Amino acid sequence: MSGEATTEALDNHSFLMHLPDPDGDAVDIRVYASPDVLGHLGAVTPADEYQVVLATAAYLLARQRADELPSFLELDDVAAAYEGYIEELRGRLGTGEQQSGK
Protein backbone atom coordinates (compact mmCIF):
# COMPACT_ATOMS: atom_id res chain seq x y z
CA MET A 1 0.00 0.00 0.00
CA SER A 2 1.21 3.53 -0.70
CA GLY A 3 1.92 5.91 2.17
CA GLU A 4 -1.47 7.62 2.01
CA ALA A 5 -4.65 6.84 3.87
CA THR A 6 -7.75 6.31 1.78
CA THR A 7 -11.36 6.25 2.87
CA GLU A 8 -14.53 4.88 1.36
CA ALA A 9 -18.04 5.82 2.39
CA LEU A 10 -20.26 2.93 3.44
CA ASP A 11 -23.68 3.83 4.81
CA ASN A 12 -25.32 5.72 7.68
CA HIS A 13 -22.27 7.75 8.79
CA SER A 14 -19.96 4.74 8.40
CA PHE A 15 -16.67 4.67 6.54
CA LEU A 16 -13.86 2.23 5.90
CA MET A 17 -10.37 3.69 6.26
CA HIS A 18 -7.43 1.95 4.59
CA LEU A 19 -4.34 3.09 6.49
CA PRO A 20 -0.71 2.34 5.70
CA ASP A 21 1.26 0.50 8.35
CA PRO A 22 5.06 0.67 8.71
CA ASP A 23 5.48 -2.61 6.80
CA GLY A 24 3.72 -1.17 3.74
CA ASP A 25 0.55 -3.19 4.22
CA ALA A 26 -2.95 -1.82 4.69
CA VAL A 27 -4.80 -1.70 7.97
CA ASP A 28 -8.57 -1.45 7.58
CA ILE A 29 -10.53 0.42 10.22
CA ARG A 30 -14.27 0.94 10.21
CA VAL A 31 -15.25 4.41 11.42
CA TYR A 32 -18.59 5.69 12.64
CA ALA A 33 -18.81 9.43 12.10
CA SER A 34 -20.78 10.32 15.21
CA PRO A 35 -23.36 13.05 14.50
CA ASP A 36 -22.42 14.83 17.75
CA VAL A 37 -18.78 15.20 16.70
CA LEU A 38 -19.79 16.11 13.14
CA GLY A 39 -21.96 18.87 14.60
CA HIS A 40 -19.05 20.25 16.64
CA LEU A 41 -17.01 20.34 13.43
CA GLY A 42 -19.73 21.92 11.31
CA ALA A 43 -19.90 18.89 9.00
CA VAL A 44 -23.37 18.89 7.49
CA THR A 45 -23.02 17.18 4.11
CA PRO A 46 -21.75 13.73 3.14
CA ALA A 47 -18.71 15.44 1.56
CA ASP A 48 -18.05 17.17 4.89
CA GLU A 49 -18.26 13.84 6.71
CA TYR A 50 -15.80 12.31 4.28
CA GLN A 51 -13.35 15.19 4.87
CA VAL A 52 -13.69 14.76 8.65
CA VAL A 53 -12.84 11.07 8.37
CA LEU A 54 -9.82 11.79 6.13
CA ALA A 55 -8.61 14.48 8.56
CA THR A 56 -9.15 12.07 11.46
CA ALA A 57 -6.96 9.49 9.71
CA ALA A 58 -4.16 12.03 9.35
CA TYR A 59 -4.63 13.15 12.95
CA LEU A 60 -4.41 9.60 14.30
CA LEU A 61 -1.48 8.58 12.09
CA ALA A 62 0.48 11.56 13.40
CA ARG A 63 0.09 10.11 16.91
CA GLN A 64 0.33 6.35 16.52
CA ARG A 65 0.85 3.52 14.07
CA ALA A 66 -2.10 2.27 12.07
CA ASP A 67 -1.64 -1.28 13.34
CA GLU A 68 -2.04 0.00 16.92
CA LEU A 69 -5.51 1.38 16.26
CA PRO A 70 -8.67 -0.65 16.95
CA SER A 71 -10.53 -2.14 14.01
CA PHE A 72 -13.61 -0.03 14.84
CA LEU A 73 -13.59 3.63 15.88
CA GLU A 74 -16.30 6.08 16.73
CA LEU A 75 -15.42 9.73 16.41
CA ASP A 76 -16.91 10.26 19.90
CA ASP A 77 -14.23 7.92 21.26
CA VAL A 78 -11.47 9.75 19.38
CA ALA A 79 -12.71 13.08 20.78
CA ALA A 80 -12.78 11.61 24.30
CA ALA A 81 -9.29 10.08 24.00
CA TYR A 82 -7.54 13.13 22.50
CA GLU A 83 -8.22 16.41 24.27
CA GLY A 84 -7.29 18.66 21.31
CA TYR A 85 -8.95 16.60 18.57
CA ILE A 86 -11.97 18.84 17.94
CA GLU A 87 -9.94 22.05 17.90
CA GLU A 88 -7.23 20.63 15.65
CA LEU A 89 -9.73 19.23 13.18
CA ARG A 90 -11.51 22.59 13.07
CA GLY A 91 -8.19 24.10 12.05
CA ARG A 92 -7.49 21.40 9.47
CA LEU A 93 -10.98 21.74 7.99
CA GLY A 94 -11.11 25.53 8.11
CA THR A 95 -14.00 25.55 10.58
CA GLY A 96 -11.94 27.31 13.25
CA GLU A 97 -14.74 29.34 14.75
CA GLN A 98 -15.47 28.27 18.27
CA GLN A 99 -18.78 26.53 18.70
CA SER A 100 -20.56 25.85 21.94
CA GLY A 101 -20.54 22.33 23.32
CA LYS A 102 -16.77 21.63 23.31
Residue 99 lies in a domain: no
SS (H, E, C) 9-75: ECCCCEEEEEEECCCCCEEEEEEECCHHHHHHCCCCCHHHHHHHHHHHHHHHHCCCCHHHCCCEEEH
Instruction: For the chain, state the CA radius of gyration.
Output: 13
Residue 70 lies in a domain: yes
Residue 83 lies in a domain: yes
Domains held by the chain: number = 1
Domain that holds residue 15: 6-93
- Which residue type sits at 80? A
Angle at CA 83, nearest 5°, toward 38 and 8? 40
Residue 31 lies in a domain: yes
pLDDT at res. 96: 55
pLDDT at res. 4: 78
pLDDT at res. 99: 42
Which candidate, 56, 98, 54, 55, places its Cα nearest to that of 81? Answer: 56
Residue 98 lies in a domain: no
Residue 20 lies in a domain: yes
CA 51 to chain centre: 8
pLDDT digits (tens, 9 = 90+) for 33-83: 999 999 999 888 888 999 999 999 999 989 998 999 999 999 999 999 999
Instruction: Answer whether 19's CB lies under 8 Å from 29's CB.
Output: yes
pTM exceeds 0.85 for this model: no
